Structure 1
């Protein structure tokens, strides 16, 4: 249940921060920083949907809910999204450029989440 809740929370944050970036930060930051923010928001939104879908699959109680790889994938998506998107949000909003050093760690974590999701899919296919 926690994966679904965190996915929904990340979705909410992506919309709220998107509005803040568009209406509050756009004029205050460089065009390059605004592009960084839009990339972070896009990643946050896409992965919030994926996280929520994984959360729903885990709550469904079917064969997918018994796959530890699916849960690990959801957790990795959460960690990766927070590291990737929030490092950019905070870096640009608070003018702390060094925070973007965390961003690649988030990106790698998201890639790992996709790979673990592939494993979950292969395992689910074998169980069907």
Structure 2
């Protein structure tokens, strides 16, 4: 699991840089300001959570169910949150908005919140273990 978390974190990080550059250069003239801001939000959240995945892959052994659930919350949360934003924005710009993606974004956000809660709990547990 540890290796998977690191690989997915690195992949998400790489894609975030690619999407950020794509948004800043290729999409700048095709999107209005609100669309561009939303696209940038997807990129920011993706890079932040790619980094927390990498940090998690370094500090957690993923022996506990809580650590595994945390990782899956981040992995699936990024996919649902950021990629649904990309889909919504790009489809809207093309004149065929994929409205079914609208409810996907907040569900992805909820998974990210759960991931952060579990990250906090698991970090505190490791700190307690190391201090004893």
Give the structure-2-normalised TM-score: 0.85
1:103 paired residue among 102, 105, 110 = 105
User: For 1:53 and 1:69, how far apart are their aligned partners in 2?
Assistant: 16
Q: Is the 8 A contact 1:80 1:108 kept in 2?
A: yes
1:73 paired residue among 70, 78, 87 = 70
Q: Show the counterpart of 1:61.
A: none
User: For 1:17 and 1:100, how far apart are their aligned partners in 2?
Assistant: 20
More helix by share: 1
Secondary structure, counterpart of 1:69 in structure 2: helix
Per-residue deviation, 1:15 = 0.4
Cα RMSD (Å): 1.5
User: For 1:25 and 1:97, how far apart are their aligned partners in 2?
Assistant: 18
User: For 1:29 and 1:88, how far apart are their aligned partners in 2?
Assistant: 13
Are 1:27 and 2:24 matched, yes or no? no
User: For 2:129 and 2:16, how far apart are their aligned partners in 1?
Assistant: 35
Per-residue deviation, 1:97 = 4.5
Q: Show the counterpart of 2:9.
A: 7
Give the structure-1-normalised TM-score: 0.87
Q: Show the counterpart of 2:86.
A: 89
Per-residue deviation, 1:118 = 1.5
Deviations 1:69-124 (A, max 9, x none): 22321221111111110001111123324123211111111000011112212322
Q: Is the 8 A contact 1:85 1:103 kept in 2?
A: yes
Q: Is the 8 A contact 1:87 1:100 kept in 2?
A: yes
Which ranges of structure 2 fall in alignment gaps of 5 or more residues?
none
Q: What count of residue pairs does the alignment treat as equivalent?
A: 123
